[in-house]
């Protein structure tokens, strides 16, 4: 096992090795428990242990310790237009979801997978007057997961996330009816 690499993150690309390399196993001892502690916060759904030149690697009795995080998002399984979804969330002291980084994208993906519609509304909308995309809670649009060739900058456009696969973002006319994600 010495030389094995531990990758932790939210990507399934390249069997998880596209995630950040967190540690290389050194001085592995047989027939005893080997403990590996990370000095920094590590977050991700996927843990990949990659041992170069080994076809199959089976790990037994693996224990992972950490802190369980609660989602700040809630899927609403009602079909609404983007504007009606926004009012629904706000009437309940919430807002449509803003995706500001990889972690919030992952939480939204977990909610989107449970949807009854092929897409779910997010809180991202295009303003024709000013000519840019904005999150309804005033967060800056610095992180994005646009589907290729699918960022349409026209009036009455909002963003819906695909509920399957890579959970990419699509520009959709905001009169379409989808489930939606509120931020608690």
**pLDDT tens sequence across 13-37:** 888 888 888 888 888 888 888 888 8
- Range picked from 24-28, 45-49, 91-95 for highest mean pLDDT: 91-95
Residues 139-175: tens digit of each pLDDT: 989 999 999 999 999 999 999 999 998 899 999 999 9
Tell me the two tokens of residue 52: 């170069």
123 pLDDT band (50/70/90 cuts)?
very high
What is the domain range of residue 126? 73-183
Q: What is the mean pLDDT of residues 30-53?
A: 85
> Whole-angstrom Cα distance, residue 39 to residue 125?
39
Does 163 lie in the same domain as 88? yes
pTM to 2 decimal places? 0.78
Q: Which residues on adjacent β-strands are paired with residue 23?
A: 6
Other residues' Cβ atoms within 10 Å of the Cβ of residue 86: 21
Does 91 lie in the same domain as 7? no
Does 97 lie in the same domain as 77? yes
Domain CATH for 112:
3.10.100.10
> Whole-angstrom Cα distance, residue 115 to residue 154?
26
Does 55 lie in the same domain as 126? no
CB 133 within 8 A of CB 170: no
Residue 84 has what pLDDT?
Answer: 98
Residue with tokens 């449970």: 114
Residues 55-84: tens digit of each pLDDT: 667 777 778 787 878 899 999 999 999 999
Does 173 lie in the same domain as 95? yes
Tell me the two tokens of residue 32: 């005893």
Query: 75 Cβ partners below 8 Å, 6+ apart?
Result: 111, 112, 114, 115, 120, 179, 180, 181
């Amino acid at each position: 096992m010495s030389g094995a690499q531990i990758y932790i993150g939210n990507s399934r690309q390249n069997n998880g090795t596209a995630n950040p390399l967190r540690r290389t196993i050194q001085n592995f001892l047989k027939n005893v428990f080997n403990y590996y502690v990370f000095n920094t916060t590590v977050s991700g759904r996927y843990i990949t242990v990659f041992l170069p030149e080994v076809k199959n690697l089976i790990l037994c009795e693996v224990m992972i310790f950490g802190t369980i995080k609660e989602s700040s998002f809630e899927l609403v399984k009602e079909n609404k237009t983007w504007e009606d979804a926004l009012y629904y969330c706000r009437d309940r002291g919430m807002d449509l979801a803003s995706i500001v980084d990889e972690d919030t994208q992952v939480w939204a993906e977990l909610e989107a997978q449970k949807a009854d519609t092929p897409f779910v509304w997010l809180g991202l909308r295009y303003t024709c007057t000013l000519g840019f995309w904005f999150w309804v809670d005033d967060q800056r649009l610095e992180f994005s997961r646009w589907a290729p060739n699918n960022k349409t900058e026209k009036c009455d456009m909002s963003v819906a996330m695909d509920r399957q696969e890579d959970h990419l973002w699509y520009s959709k006319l905001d009169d379409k009816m989808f489930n939606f994600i509120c931020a608690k």
